[in-house]
């Protein structure tokens, strides 16, 4: 692709979402204190507000470390959803609590090459049939 100045460049696919995040031993912050960035190379969690002032984050997960990504129901009524990011290390997991619907986030992750499971999961992480 050619830029307006005649140079060649490759556009980078990058999507940003606001919400909360949890990971064992790393971060625990409710919405809207996390900015979640999806790129083809890695997933990034950036602190917002006071978290940014105290220089907490960013936390990154390289794409090669991710085993599976899926949305799961956070309550019995299915009103709230969270996105679970399963890594190849069974002792490390990540949750992202989106401020909006989980569908566009999963679609952005799939476009960037992440292994997205579209079957909704229940609160325990088991697929809902």
Using DSSP bridges, classify how beta strands 66-73 and 116-121 pair: parallel, antiparallel or unpaired: parallel
Contact 105, 94 (CB under 8 A): no
Q: Span 15-121: which CATH code?
A: 2.30.29.30
Q: What phi and psi values does residue 110 have, to the nearest 5 degrees?
A: -65, -40
Q: What is the pLDDT along the chain (129 residues), one digit of tens a residue?
A: 444 555 555 557 899 999 999 998 778 888 888 999 999 999 999 988 876 666 677 899 999 999 999 988 766 555 668 899 999 998 888 999 998 888 899 999 999 999 999 888 877 778 876
β-pair partners for 28:
22
The pTM score is: 0.81
Residue ranges per domain, the chain? Answer: 15-121
């Amino acid at each position: 692709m050619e830029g307006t100045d005649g140079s060649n460049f490759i556009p980078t696919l990058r999507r940003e979402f606001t919400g909360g995040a949890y990971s064992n031993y790393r971060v625990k912050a409710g919405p809207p204190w996390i900015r979640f960035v999806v790129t083809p190379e890695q997933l990034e969690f950036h602190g917002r507000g006071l978290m940014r002032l105290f220089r907490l984050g960013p936390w990154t997960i390289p794409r090669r470390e991710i085993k599976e990504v899926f949305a799961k129901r956070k309550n019995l009524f299915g009103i709230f959803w969270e996105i679970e990011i399963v890594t190849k290390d069974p002792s490390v997991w990540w949750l992202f609590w989106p401020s909006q619907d989980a569908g566009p986030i999963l679609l952005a992750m799939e476009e960037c090459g992440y292994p997205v499971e579209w079957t909704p999961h229940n609160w325990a992480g088991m697929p809902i049939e």
